[in-house]
Structure formats: structure tokens, C-alpha cells
Amino acid sequence: MNPRAVSLATRPEAAARNGRVRRFYKAYGLTIGSEVALPELEPTAPATPDIEIAVGPIDFPEAASANATAFRFEQSHQYLSWPAIGTFRISGAGRIDVDAAPGIDDPLLAFPLLGPVLALALHQRRLLILHASAVAVGDQSLIFMGDKGAGKSTMAGAMIRAGHLLLTDDVVALDLSNPSRPMILPGFPQLKLAADAADAIRIGQAEVRPQVHPQIEKAQHRLRDGFAGKAVKAARIYVLERGERAAIMPLPGAGALPAIIKFSYVTRFGRQALVGDFASTHLSQCAQLAARIGVCRLEVPAGLGRIDEVVDLIERDLAAGAQTR
């Protein structure tokens, strides 16, 4: 971490008009100016931000009247509201407004902000966003997709322990502007792991951040090392499933596209999130990725004691793929 960047990111002249400090970070190849403290991200020098995060009141009557989780998607604005945390408004591709619930501090705001809220903001920038984890292995990278609890972050952690580099956890952003080179953009150096996975993998050079809420089971591991700071070409997409032995099986061509659509981040919000021409763009991006890379089923044996078998299999699969290209 650059000490000068830390100093610049928090200097007094960066104070916002509401008394909050405006800090500057980098993530997904973008400069982010934020009135919410986000120590999960890498600090950077003040500059014109690609995404501005501002704190202030948001007029979203649906949230107050229903007193329940509420989402609304419009052509120019998207609203996400959790009564226990706050309301978030995404405006275009460059602004996120945050209206925190009473008593909620920045560490808890960061959970949805760096998850679904930022994912939708990146989606507005015409990137393909997957609910997945990604790791760089040399000059190529791989994506782990799967249902909740499938072990996406755990597999990423095992790959990092083996000497490979984290690209991003939970929110994977792909730049498909060059159809022949789908690129995974580097997110930020943090991995969320359950206690048993963290004990089994034991990633060195990682800081475990304080728990921000009793109901959040996974701990945040901020990597001091083991993070890829640049975009890497995507080479493999694996869907994790439980099996008796470590095995990799390519999905048939007709199965790759539905798998990518299923684990795309916007799919979590349903058809309502694909406003205007985003539906056709999203389908085209998913089809492009399926045709270029395909999808493999990765069977992972039960029990964390056998995870190194899976790491070895992945390394051999990537090496074999590189020889055929």
C-alpha cells in the first residue's frame, strides 16, 4: 500500500460539505470518491472520480411505507433499501447516494455498498457482473461460480495459499469490449471466509477485520499480499458442485449459457432490473462469454482436508488449456 496515497486519500481539503471526509479509492479499474469510509478498498490519490459515493437523504417512499426490503429499477435510477441498514440510489453509471438508517455506521453500510449496490453500478457501466470469485494464475484467470455455500471463496482462498493471486471475491466484473479477450477487472484485496474454511486454509499475510454484525457469519480477510492489481484474461469458468472426487467436466454447449445467466449478478433481482436495452445487452454478453470460454463443472470432494486435490487439478487443467491455445 502506498503511504502517500493513504495520506492524500484522507487529507483535510477532501472534506465533504456535510462534514464527512471524502476519500479516494481504486477498484475494478475505476477511481471511487466516497463519503463512506471503505478501508476494504485500495486508497489512491484524489482525482476526478468515475463513481461518486455521497451521503444524504434519499426520497424513496416505498421503503418507508413498506418498512421492508424494497427495490425499484428505472431507466436512470435504481433504488435498493434495507430498513435495518439504509437506502441506496444508483444514478446513471457514476453516482451512488447513501441514506443510512439511524445508528448505522460505515462498516455495516459497506456490506451492501460493496456487494449488490456496487455490482449494479458496474452493470450500468456495461460490464458483465457475475456473483462469483476470480483468481489469477500467471497470465490467465479463472472464475468460480456456484450456489450459496458451494465454496467459491474457499476455493479462491486455497488457490491463494498455493501462490496464486486474488482478482475479486463475490463481485466479478468482466470487460467484454474486446470479444477475443474477455478481461476480469481487479476488485479489491479482501476475501470473506467462514471460520472452518479460514482455519483449514490459513492464508498468510491477511488481516482479519472486526465483525460488524453478529448475523454476518463470514469474516473479512484483507490480504496484505496475494492480490492481482491488474486485469487478467479469463481462461476458465468453473461451476462448483459436491462430488466424491476432484473432477472437471465441460458442460455441453447448450448448458454454458444458462449457467452464466444464472450466476450473473443482475439475475438476483429478476427481469425488473434489466431496464431498456439492458436485457438484450446482458443476454449478448452472457452468450459471448459462453461461446468464447464455455463452462466446466468442477466437482469438489466433501471435507476441507481434500481441497489441495482440487487446486492441483485446476492447475493441471489450466496448463493443459494453455498448451492447446
The answer on 276 and 240 residing in a single domain is yes
The answer on 169 and 32 residing in a single domain is no
Name the residue range of residue 301's domain: 128-324
The answer on 116 and 202 residing in a single domain is no
Look at the block and give the residue holding cell 466484473: 173
The answer on 152 and 28 residing in a single domain is no
**42-43 sheet: strands from edge to edge:** 42-43, 23-27, 30-34, 51-55, 95-100, 86-91, 77-82, 70-73
The answer on 169 and 265 residing in a single domain is yes
Q: By three-state DSSP, how is residue 198 classified?
A: helix
The answer on 155 and 66 residing in a single domain is no
Pairing of strands 232-243, 140-145: parallel
Instruction: Decide: 182 and 292 in contact? Cβ < 8 Å.
Output: yes
The answer on 190 and 43 residing in a single domain is no
Number of separate domains in the chain: 2
The answer on 7 and 53 residing in a single domain is yes
The answer on 186 and 102 residing in a single domain is no
Q: What are phi and psi of 49, to 5 degrees?
A: -75, 150
Q: At what angle do helices 253-262 and 278-292 cross, to 10 degrees?
A: 130
pLDDT in tens, the chain (325 residues): 444 444 444 444 455 566 899 999 999 999 999 999 999 999 999 999 999 999 999 998 776 666 778 999 998 899 999 989 999 999 999 999 999 999 999 999 999 999 999 999 999 999 999 999 999 999 999 999 999 989 999 999 999 999 999 999 999 999 999 988 999 999 999 999 888 888 877 887 788 887 777 777 788 889 988 999 999 999 999 999 999 999 999 998 789 999 999 999 999 898 888 988 889 999 999 999 999 999 999 999 988 889 999 999 999 999 987 655 5
What CATH code is carried by the domain that includes residue 311? 3.40.50.300
The answer on 287 and 145 residing in a single domain is yes
